[in-house]
């Protein structure tokens, strides 16, 4: 069953969670070989839940262009593999040193640090293997464009740079401009790739691609502001993370810079603005518009 | 100046070292942005020397098919980026915990653990970015085949699996079959990709590709046996590594399983056998044949 453009958001999110879980389960290695522990750690980190918002963005973006669900699911899986790898490495003692992830022991606590480093590395490579495989798209030009897009989004000018800036920021007071740049790199670039992947799969027109980039830009920022709000307001039972962690680490956040109320307003404004970028797609964009509102209203 | 098929090995290795250094220097990011420390760590790890044997295999394999040097150098750079990333992560305290690499402080000693983890991750992504870029080859089908080949070689069924098996092997006694499988995964798969990349760039025939795979298989094994011999016989000044480290860690090696003399004989035999796989290429393969001998005779 494909993701229908007429589905309401909750149905679409449930569909995404179930379908991406099955897809990733099929794509993840399993064996009794001596490296079985590596596969266990990969599967533990990837299949242990999560909002699957990035997968949803790939699927919902793909419905705009009538892309078949299996292809979109492979790209969504690649994005979730990368997201999982980044969380595994972020949680390491030398990085954010977080013992919990989604209410469960983080990968290095459940296994060990070496296994966690390697599980992250393996998921990183697997994402590119999945994109490059002909099952993802019949046209190699499309596949290589996906590879290039993902590599740029997560490499030294994208996600990893954002993580580096984040590490360097501890104890410093970033300006609003600096923290916006950090967010764009650390989480925004991968979200942009996810939102635009359907347009790549469909070889869509430049205006369509630009609309999705603009949507992703605003949604990504709204998402991060909402995350900062949850870090202050959220409870562990709901977020599965240690609350108040950013404040305790002395990190500047959108909330510490703007205050609670202005941060909330800003997130709502961005969500609304994000939706308007998609007006060219008419009713087909309803899911993505709902998602933009959901991103700022979610409780976890 | 291209790498000539008529060059002797030392000239070819010197050419490789100089040309790959320039290529990687151009491809590596440099900036005054807040993530400058990430770029410093990447450049430190990549440009700090090394035998560049993997780059050489890409270039020498490419000369068999008359591939233009700039394209081959981009693929060689991608391979060296991956190799550098794997060394950075291998050296981490949670992994092999090695303070030295090529006689210099390893990345996490020169910088810090978080930076080292991220520098490895960034080089990993950059390798795929370089392969996917149109400067590497005009045909997207070739580029995506390179991406798929590299991802398979270094992912959960390749290099990372080998590293996991290696970690799990500490304190155990592996059989010759197990240690051969470990080597094939940990170092062999990337060497095979390097040796075969020229054939991909040239869209070479199946027999040509198979010949290079067979060559790489034997050379990779010979390379690892030679490495184990150097670990026992080498001195830090020459190898830049801590000698006797494998023995101290209780790791089974080809030397501990075969003994010095049989290990030496086996390496020589493999080098000779490797060369014979390339007879179909005639005198063009002379460089690769010399390289197979060099791999087992090198002192560092």
- pLDDT at A4 > cutoff 80: no
C-alpha R_g of chain A: 18
Residue B55 lies in a domain: yes
* In a domain? residue A87: yes
What does the block give as tokens for A65?
Answer: 């262009």
pLDDT the model gives residue A127: 98
Q: Which of A86, A109, A121 to mutate to test the interface with B (most CBs of B within 10 A)?
A: A121
CB-based contact B144 A140, cutoff 8 Å: yes
pLDDT attached to residue A241: 60
Alpha helices per DSSP H over B189-239: 189-201, 206-233, 236-239
Mutate to test the interface with B, among A46, A148, A153, A154 (most CBs of B within 10 A): A148
- CA B35/CA B119 separation, integer angstroms: 11
Q: Say if CB B263 and CB B254 are below 8 A apart.
A: yes
Lowest mean pLDDT among A187-191, A227-231, A285-289: A227-231
| B32 chain-A contacts, CB cut-off 8 A | none
* H runs (alpha helix) in A30-104: 36-47, 53-63, 69-91
Which of the pair, A239 or A185, is modelled with greater confidence? A185
Q: A35 pLDDT exceeds 70?
A: yes
Q: Is residue A3 part of a domain?
A: no
**Per the domain annotation, does B3 fall within a domain?**
no
Model confidence at B251, pLDDT cuts 50, 70, 90, reads confident
Instruction: Considering only the beta carbons, identify the residue of B132, B145, B165 that sits closest to A148.
Output: B132
Q: ∠ at Cα A181 (A176, A182), nearest 5°?
A: 95
The per-residue pLDDT for B295 is: 93
Q: What is the pLDDT of residue B232?
A: 86
Whether B176 has its CB under 8 Å from any CB of chain A: the answer is no
Contacts of B11 (CB under 8 A, 6+ apart): none
CATH code, domain carrying A52? 1.10.600.10
- Residue A289: what pLDDT? 96
Spatial distance between the Cα atoms of A133 and A127, rounded to a whole number of angstroms:
10
pLDDT above 90: residue A7:
no
Does the distance separating the beta carbons of A160 and B125 come in below 8 Å?
A: yes
Contact residues, chain B, for A145 at CB < 8 Å: 132, 140
Q: Tell whether the model's pLDDT for residue A154 goes beyond 90.
A: yes
Q: How distant is the alpha carbon of residue B81 from its chain centre?
A: 10
pLDDT score recorded for residue B2: 65
Instruction: Give the minimum alpha-carbon distance from A155 to chain B in angstroms, rounded to a whole number.
Output: 5
Per-residue pLDDT at B87: 97
CB atoms inside a 10 Å sphere around CB B55 = 28
pLDDT of residue B198: 98
Under the banding of pLDDT at 50, 70 and 90, the label for residue B233 is confident
pLDDT averaged over every residue in chain B: 93
Q: What is the per-residue pLDDT across B14-32, written as a single tens digit (0 to 9) for each?
A: 999 999 999 999 999 998 8
3-state helix, strand, coil in chain A (%, to 5): 75, 0, 25
Residue that wins the pLDDT comparison between B5 and A112: A112
Quote the CA–CA distance of A21 and A19 in Å, as a whole number.
5
> A164 contacts in B (CB within 8 Å)?
34-35, 37-38, 115, 118
Task: State whether B37 and A164 contact (CB < 8 Å).
Answer: yes
Least confident of B76-90, B135-149, B204-218, B222-236: B222-236
* Residue range B144-168, pLDDT digits in tens: 999 999 999 999 999 999 999 999 9
- Mean pLDDT, to the nearest integer, of A242-255? 72
pLDDT score at A259: 93
Distance CA A274, CA A203 (A): 22
Residue B239 pLDDT greater than 60, yes or no? no
Q: For this complex, say whether ipTM is above 0.90.
A: yes
CA distance A242 to A25: 28
Which residues lie closer than 8 Å to A4 by C-beta, 6 or more apart?
Answer: A12, A63
Global pTM reads: 0.95
- Closest Cα in chain B, distance from residue A34 (Å): 6
pLDDT, tens digit, for every residue of A48-76? Answer: 888 899 999 999 999 999 999 999 999 99
Whole-number percent of chain B with pLDDT over 90: 83
Helix, strand, or coil (residue A203)? coil
Cβ pairs A/B, distance under 8 A: 169
Q: Is the pLDDT of residue A245 over 70?
A: no
What ranges make up the beta strands (E) of chain A?
Answer: 100-101, 104-105
| Virtual torsion, Cα B31, B35, B41, B47, nearest 10 deg | -20
Residues, chain A: 300
A129 contacts in chain B (CB < 8 Å): 148, 151-152, 155
* pLDDT-derived band at B7, boundaries 50, 70, 90: confident
Per-residue model confidence as pLDDT tens digits over A163-209 = 999 999 888 889 999 999 999 999 999 999 999 999 999 999 999 99
pLDDT in tens, A78-107: 999 999 999 999 999 999 999 999 889 999
State whether B151 and A129 contact (CB < 8 Å). yes
Identify which of A66, A51, A96 has the alpha carbon closest to the alpha carbon of residue A198.
A66
**Cβ–Cβ gap B156/A117 under 8 Å:** no
Q: Contacts from B105-109 at CB under 8 Å and sequence distance 24+? A: B107/B41, B107/B44, B107/B45
Residue B1 domain-assigned? Answer: no
Q: From CA A137, how far away is CA B120, in angstroms rounded? A: 29
User: What distance in Å separates the CA atoms of residue B202 and residue B197, rounded to the nearest whole number?
Assistant: 9
Q: Which domain does B36 fall in, by range?
A: 9-297
A128 interfaces chain B, CB cutoff of 8 Å: yes
Distance CA B92, CA B118 (A): 12
> Tell me, what's the pLDDT at B237?
54
Scan residues 23-82 of A and list those with Cβ closer than 8 Å to B: 29, 33-35, 37-39, 42
Cα(B196)–Cα(A52) distance, integer angstroms:
38
Structurally, chain A folds into a number of domains equal to 1
Structure tokens at A263: 């941060």
pLDDT-wise least confident of B3-17, B73-87, B170-184: B3-17
pLDDT band at A246 (very low <50, low <70, confident <90, very high): low
Judge whether A164 is closer than 8 Å to chain B, CB to CB.
Answer: yes
% of residues, chain B, pLDDT over 70: 93
The reply to whether A30 falls in a domain is: yes
CB of B257 less than 8 A from some CB of A: no
* Cβ proximity of B146 and B131 under 8 Å: yes
pLDDT average, residue stretch B60-67:
96
Q: Does any domain span residue B2?
A: no
Which of B290, B251, B288 has the alpha carbon at shortest distance from B163?
Answer: B251
pLDDT beyond 70 at A1? no
Most A-contacting residue of B28, B34, B163 (CB-CB within 10 A), to test interface: B34
Cα B158 to Cα A118, B75, B120, B181: the distances in Å are 12, 18, 17, 10
Listed in sequence order, the residues at least 6 apart from B204 whose beta carbon sits closer than 8 Å to its beta carbon are B65, B198
Q: Determine whether the interchain pair A160/B38 forms a contact, defined as Cβ–Cβ distance below 8 Å.
A: yes
């Amino acid at each position: 069953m494909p993701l229908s453009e007429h589905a309401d958001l909750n149905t679409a999110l449930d569909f995404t969670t179930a379908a991406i879980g099955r897809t990733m389960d099929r794509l993840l290695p399993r064996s009794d070989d001596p490296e079985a522990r590596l596969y266990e750690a990969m599967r533990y980190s990837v299949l242990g839940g999560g909002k699957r918002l990035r997968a949803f963005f790939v699927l919902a973006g793909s419905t705009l262009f009538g892309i078949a669900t299996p292809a979109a699911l492979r790209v969504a899986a690649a994005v979730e593999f990368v997201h999982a790898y980044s969380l595994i490495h972020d949680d390491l003692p030398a990085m954010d040193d977080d013992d919990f992830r989604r209410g469960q022991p983080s990968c290095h606590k459940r296994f060990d640090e070496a296994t966690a480093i390697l599980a992250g590395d393996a998921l990183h490579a697997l994402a590119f293997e999945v994109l490059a495989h002909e099952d993802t798209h019949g046209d190699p030009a499309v596949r290589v464009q996906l590879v290039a897009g993902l590599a740029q989004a997560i490499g030294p000018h994208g996600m990893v740079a954002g993580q580096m800036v984040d590490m360097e920021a501890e104890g410093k007071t970033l300006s609003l401009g600096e923290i916006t740049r950090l967010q764009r790199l650390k989480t925004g670039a991968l979200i942009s790739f996810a939102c635009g992947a359907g347009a790549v799969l469909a070889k869509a027109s430049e205006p369509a691609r630009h609309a999705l980039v603009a949507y992703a830009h605003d949604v990504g920022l709204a998402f991060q502001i909402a995350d900062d709000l949850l870090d202050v307001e959220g409870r562990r039972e709901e977020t599965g993370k240690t609350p108040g962690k950013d404040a305790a680490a002395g990190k500047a956040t959108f909330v510490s810079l703007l205050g609670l109320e202005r941060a909330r307003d800003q997130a709502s404004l961005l969500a609304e603005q994000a939706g308007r970028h998609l007006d060219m797609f008419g009713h087909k964009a309803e899911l993505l518009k709902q998602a933009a509102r959901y991103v700022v209203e979610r409780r976890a």
